[in-house]
Each structure stands twice: as structure tokens, then as C-alpha cells.
Amino acid sequence: MNGYLYDLQGVTKEYEGRRVLNIAELQVRRGEILGLVGPSGAGKSTLLRLLNFLEEPTEGQVCFMQGTFGAGHPIPLSLLRKVTTVFQHPVLLNRTVWNNVAYGLRLRERSWPWAKGGIRRCVDEALQQVGLGHLPEQRARTLSGGEAQRVALARAMALEPEVLLLDEPTANLDPYNVTLIEGIVRDLNCEQGTTIILVTHNVFQARRLAHRVGLLLDGFLVELGDVESFFQSPSDPRTQAFVKGEMVY
């Protein structure tokens, strides 16, 4: 593992015979924010689903926290619960905001009985952090898009995951919510040391938040490097074109 949280070697994913992802090598360091940019259909979301073990790779294996998982080697639930994803379109339960945020913690109640008394505290704290402390009793289905995304973020934060995967978390949100969510992500990484993998179309957002950035094109990881080198001296011409905003897709 060489000290990496994730280590992917020769990972591919196919749907109905069509290869959508082909990662020769990818390592994720503990405590970093890794930005993954690329056009639609590049395989970014597919990669996130593999990293959250929601799907199995067609070939290759995903090494995560000293374990190796892949087809026929499912991840144990205890390890799966160290990772969570906030999707672009948050799916909230038809419950109150508070109960949505408490959901993941309640799932773990049986395995962590001592956490029972802490659920209220965790949920209240998470709601305060995302600026929704005043809406705990509101029905989730009545929230605006920005509020719903913040509830989804609070729900993930309350779990205190080792890895937080963000799939276009600010797409279609107004600048106020974008700034708010970016601030929360930054705080989460700095204060709690959460490893964050951020998938975004927005190269500016990747530049603002990430320590390292990777470009995915047609399922291939074209380039991966520190944020400075990625944006200022990219080695691959496709990356150069992408960061300049020239059409490469």
C-alpha cells in the first residue's frame, strides 16, 4: 500500500461490453483533497462509485486501508462505512431534516451502541456547520436545491468518514451555496483530516480546493499532479488544452 489510503492498479469498468473506465494506476494519499476533472462521460462518477464500493470493477482490484477488494472480494460493511458519497443530486428521505442527517448514525447504532447518546450532538453539530441549525424540523422535500445539498453534506459529515467522495457537489447551485459548501469542505479537510475526493467539471473549483488534481478523459487518467504543476505546467497537451478552457471534448 506504500502508505496510501487507496491504491488502484489496472482497474477497468465495463457496462454491456463498453469500457468506460481504464485506470492504469491511481493512489490517494491520506488527508488530501484530490480533485478529478474532466468532461461529461469521462468516467469520473464511475470512478467514485468504485471508490465507494457501490460497484465492482470489471478487472483489477481496489486496495483500501490495507485490504484488497474487487470482483468476488466484497468489502466488509465495517470498512465500507469509512467511506461515503455526496452525489450531485442529493436523494433525501421523506423525513425531517434532522432525521435525514441522523439516518446514517442510526444505521450504526447497533454496532456502536455507545454512540446512541451522541447522535443528537453529532446531528446538531453537523446542521450548525452547514448553516441549517434553524431548520431541523423542516420536511426535507420542501428544501431548495442548495439547502438539500447542504443536508446531504451534513448527513455525510455526521458520520465522520475517513473518506468523503463528492460528486459535483455544487453543480447547479448559486454562488452563495457554492462558497458555503467549498468552505465546509476545506474546514472538514483541515480540521478533521478527512480525505476528500472531489469530482467536478469546474477547473476553478478544483484549483481552489484540491491539493492534487487529475484529468480524466474517455475513462483514462491522462494526468495527475500537484495543483500548481497541473495548472501551471501540465505535461500532457490535452491537460494544457483543458486548463486553458479549450475544447477537448
Partner 1 sequence: MREEIISAIIQGLWQALYLIWSGDSALREIVLLTFRVSGTALLFSSLVGIPLGAILGLSRFHGRRLMISLLYTGMGFPPVVVGLFVYLMLSRSGPLGQLGYAWVPELFTPSAMIVAQTIISFPLVAGFTMAAVMGVDPFLRRQLRALGANPRQAAITILSEARIGVVVSIIAGFGSIISEVGAVMLVGGNIEGQTRVLTTAVVLETRKGNFDLAIALGIILLILSFVVNLAVLFLQGRTFNE
Q: Which residues bind partner 1 (CB under 8 A)?
A: 49, 52, 54, 77, 80-81, 83-85, 87, 89-91, 93-94, 103-104, 107-108, 139, 141, 155-156, 159, 165
Q: Which amino acid is at 243?
A: V
Taking the complex as a whole, how short is the minimal distance between the CB of residue 77 and partner 1, in angstroms?
6
Strands (E), 16-103: 18-29, 33-37, 59-64, 67-70, 83-86
Residue closer to partner 1, measured from CB, 97 or 215: 97
Residue closer to partner 1, measured from CB, 60 or 104: 104
Q: How far apart are CA 11 and CA 61, in angstroms?
A: 6
Distances (CA, A) of 192 to 82, 122, 162: 14, 14, 9
DSSP 81: T
Is residue 139 classed exposed, middle or buried when 0-12, 13-18 and 19+ CB atoms within 10 A define those classes? Answer: middle
Q: Do 102 and 123 meet the contact criterion of CB atoms below 8 Å apart?
A: yes
Q: Do 182 and 101 meet the contact criterion of CB atoms below 8 Å apart?
A: no
Residue closer to partner 1, measured from CB, 87 or 230: 87
Taking the complex as a whole, how short is the minimal distance between the CB of residue 23 and partner 1, in angstroms?
20
Q: Do 20 and 13 meet the contact criterion of CB atoms below 8 Å apart?
A: yes
Residue closer to partner 1, measured from CB, 19 or 139: 139
Residue closer to partner 1, measured from CB, 71 or 93: 93
Residue closer to partner 1, measured from CB, 125 or 236: 125
Other beta carbons less than 10 A from residue 151's beta carbon: 26
Taking the complex as a whole, how short is the minimal distance between the CB of residue 69 and partner 1, in angstroms?
14
Taking the complex as a whole, how short is the minimal distance between the CB of residue 230 and partner 1, in angstroms?
28
Taking the complex as a whole, how short is the minimal distance between the CB of residue 51 and partner 1, in angstroms?
11
Taking the complex as a whole, how short is the minimal distance between the CB of residue 15 and partner 1, in angstroms?
15
